[in-house]
Chain A
Amino acid sequence: MAELTYREAVARGIAQEMARDPDVVFLGEDVAKAGGVFKATVGLYEQFGPLRVRDTPISEQAILGAAMGAAMTGLKPIAEIMFSDFFAVCFDYIANEFPKSRYMSNGQTKCPLVVRTGNGAGSRFGAQHSQSVENWCMMIPGLKVVAPSTPRDVIGLMAAAVRDPDPVIFFEHKSLYATKGEVPDGEIVDRLGTAKIVRPGKDCTIIALALMVSRALAAAETLQSEHGIDCEVIDVRSLVPLDTQTILGSVAKTHRLFTVEENPRLCGWGAEIVSIVADEAFYELDGPPVRITTPHIPLPAADILEDMVLPTAERIVETVKRSLES
């Protein structure tokens, strides 16, 4: 067991897979010699050399296109898009190419690759370097989408993503890079499509992702200690495949549902979860499902403004308390 930061876990997760399989290669902007702008890939270039860990030009379409061509013909590429906001300049690959080639070719074309990216707010970078865009990817048939919240999950889900035969979009949260967690020694391999109950409870279910998991947990502690409300917190971890059984099972137990989403309100992933629960567990609910989200605005840069828009533990506490009391 060792204590690792989330950013160290990224490098360890990639290294674990590159050491296992020589077909795993890694490319992106400033990822090799510089070790990544978030220092999440430090040491990989030194360990695996310039043929497997490659710096690219600032050409996001070339990065993702090259990853796809390599994946189609036998490699298992990991591609970095520095900020998930930049998906907008290479979205053709994410929306049209990776996820549709297998279907359109009637199963001939394979695309086993991982796109890892820095997602989420908290760095005061403003509207084009802070977004949470996991919902952009969740809506596309053919993709898989994961977003780990702890160093251990980073390594385990990275391994699962690299070994998966489908294209996987791997969202790392920028505000989690400096956080620490206990990580077991040796190989860690997790499973896609598995949510985790990170705090069992009986009064309500709070479903969160990435940075929002720690805020949901903090809120649950306050709700327990100050208001006697016992929350079950689920780290959804994987949006596609989605572990609906864990979610529906929890709702069947607590009869109340809250989602905590960093992506803006409209068409956030919580809407899909609420829709599934409404369809399939409506009579389990004792009250309306409630979404706690970032409002439908671009993200501001100033700390005082950014802090107002992201869901906080306080806002979760207030929302849950008000909803359960009403």
Chain B
Amino acid sequence: MARVSDRAPGAAGSGLNDDIGEDKRLALYRSQVVIREAEQRAFDLFLQNLVKGTSHLSLGQEAVAAGFAEAMQPGDLSFCTYRGHSHTLARGVPVEKVLGELMQRDNGLMRGKGGSMHLTSEEHGVMGSYAIIGAHLPIACGSAWRAQYKGHKDVSVCFFGDGTTNIGAFHEALNFAAVWKLPVIFVCENNLYMEYTPIGEVTAVQHPAADRAASYGLERIVIDGNDADAVYRTARTAYDKARAGRGPSLIECMTYRHSGHSRADPAKYRPEGELEKWKLRDPVKIYRERLLQFGVAEKVIAGIETEVRKVVDDATETCKAAPPPSLDILTTDVYADGGWAWRN
């Protein structure tokens, strides 16, 4: 990755009068580019029939994942949804592990046993991707309860979409976390559509997460989810609050997915021009412009892009060459003894 020494002379990226600083900004940009390139590659591989099953892409929502992950401390824990490739990659899980799982190869993150919707890498703090809407909000509460009980300083961060805000587990978890003052952050990625239906058509309030915050004694927070700096700063504040024992936060990030809900969805339900309007606020594009404004040299930015593309290209070739899962894992890890025996 490009370093500070590549900076243009006299650039604003020296970090003066800025709370983020150039190193972190470059990391935020690289993280977004990794997600963009890997997700686009997943889509291309799907068109080649090499990504099987379903997949839910985060194209257009990269800034949320990058901003929250880059503000984390080592040991902080992520709980993701089935739209979780982005959050998994943002914690540093290798691209080839993610693509390998999507391509159902033996080199995949879970060797093909979980699939796109269940990416898990505990060594990176990715405590699972949950495909039943709302299920992981209470689970993140439990992780945070453990931290509180054991005196650990880690924060549990739970990502979910706007559609989750209308399911019971969302409300149970918010109340539970608030009453127990748990170090958990609830992050709603409001991309305007639950699956195919606009969230606004089926929700009694304008902001489906933030407008419910008051019900649980929490601050109403709505941010620009396409601005990685805004996300990063908001995340940092929320983590500090959680670590200080001042309880949970609920953050609604306004964003937009550039693709359909899942690979089966061409997203024909969107009004004409909406996608184009949001693409003007493409998080990767606006962050690139910001780096230039802060004086980061074009060659540094291009260097990151070239490096990431090579990572994704190499990962793609590795996955294409990888064998399918070995059949002997079919019955492993049903129970903790490693096997599946239910009788003697």
Residues of A within 8 A of B (CB): 25, 51-52, 54, 56-57, 59, 61-75, 77, 92-93, 96-97, 101-110, 112, 141-142, 144, 164-166, 193, 240-245, 276
Contact = CB atoms under 8 A, between A and B. Distances in A.
A165 B130 CA distance: 22
Contacts of A61: 134, 138, 168-169, 172-173
Interface stretch (B44-52, B118-126, B206-214, B247-255): B118-126
A89 to B, nearest CB: 8
A69 B141 contact: yes
Contact of B142 (A67, A112, A245): A67
A166 B114 CA distance: 19
Interface of B: 77, 79, 109-111, 113-115, 118, 120-122, 127-128, 130, 132, 134-147, 149-150, 156, 168-169, 172-173, 175-176, 179-180, 329, 332-338, 340-344
Contacts of B136: 65
Contacts of B132: 92, 96-97
A285 B145 CA distance: 53
Contacts of A57: 172, 175-176, 179
A227 to B, nearest CB: 33
Given A57-B176, A72-B127, A166-B335, A97 B146 contact: no
A276 B121 CA distance: 39
B142 A193 contact: no
B113 A66 contact: no
A297 B320 CA distance: 55
B142 A105 contact: no
Given A64-B138, A70-B146, A242-B342, 8 more contacts: A73-B127, A75-B150, A104-B113, A108-B122, A109-B122, A141-B340, A242-B344, A245-B344
Contact of B110 (A93, A105, A144): A105
Contacts of A25: 149
Contact of A74 (B134, B146, B335): B146
22 contacts: A57-B175, A61-B134, A65-B142, A65-B169, A68-B138, A69-B146, A101-B128, A104-B113, A104-B120, A106-B109, A106-B113, A106-B329, A107-B333, A109-B122, A109-B127, A112-B336, A141-B340, A166-B336, A193-B344, A240-B342, A241-B342, A276-B343
A135 to B, nearest CB: 14
Contacts of A77: 142
A275 to B, nearest CB: 12
Given A61-B169, A103-B113, A242-B343, A74 B135 contact: no
- Give the residue among B134, B149, B332 with the most A Cβ atoms within 10 A: B149
A70 B143 contact: yes
Chain A binding surface, main DSSP class:
mixed
A56 B176 contact: yes
Contacts of A64: 138
B336 A102 contact: yes
A165 B333 CA distance: 12
A241 B341 contact: yes
Contact of B144 (A62, A68, A69): A69
A47 to B, nearest CB: 17
Nearest to B340: A141
A263 B132 CA distance: 28
Given A56-B176, A59-B176, A105-B110, A96 B135 contact: yes
Contacts of B336: 102, 110, 112, 164-166
B135 A93 contact: yes
B322 to A, nearest CB: 15
B169 A62 contact: yes
Given A62-B141, A142-B334, A106 B114 contact: yes
Nearest to A79: B142
Contacts of A75: 145-146, 149-150
Contacts of A240: 342
A106 B110 contact: yes
